[in-house]
Amino acid sequence: VRRGTCAVGVRGKDSVVLGVEKKSVLKLQDPRTVRKVVLLDDHVCMAFAGLNADARVLINKARMECQSHRLTVEDPVSVEYISRYIAGVQQKYTQSGGVRPFGISTLIIGFDKDKNGQSVPKLYQTDPSGIYSAWRANAIGKSATTVREFLEKNWKEDMLEDEVVKLTVKSLLEVVQTGSKNIEIAVMKNDGILLNLTADEVDAISKIIEKEKEAEAEKNKKPGQPSSLGPVPMQS
In angstroms, the CA 77 to CA 66 distance is 6
Instruction: Indicate if the pLDDT at residue 223 is higher than 80.
Output: no
In angstroms, the CA 161 to CA 45 distance is 17
List, for residues 157-171, the tens digit of each pLDDT value.
989 999 999 999 999
Between 20 and 229, whose confidence is greater? 20
Q: What pLDDT does 140 receive?
A: 95
List, for residues 168-219, the tens digit of each pLDDT value.
999 999 998 877 888 999 999 988 889 999 989 999 999 999 898 888 888 8
Global pTM reads 0.87
Q: What pLDDT does 35 receive?
A: 86
Instruction: Indicate if the pLDDT at residue 229 is higher than 60.
Output: no
Q: Are 20 and 47 in contact (CB under 8 A)?
A: yes
Cα-based angle 123, 158, 12 (whole degrees, multiple of 5): 30
Q: What pLDDT does 32 receive?
A: 78
Q: What pLDDT does 225 receive?
A: 54
Instruction: State residue 12 phi and psi, 5-degree precision.
Output: -115, -160
In angstroms, the CA 75 to CA 67 distance is 10
Q: What pLDDT does 24 receive?
A: 78
Mean pLDDT of the chain: 89
Q: Whats the size of the chain, residue-wise?
A: 236
Q: What pLDDT does 23 receive?
A: 80
Average pLDDT over residues 145-163: 93
Average pLDDT over residues 86-100: 93
In angstroms, the CA 102 to CA 182 distance is 25
The percent of residues in the chain predicted with pLDDT above 70, rounded, is 94
For residue 41, the cross-strand partners are 44
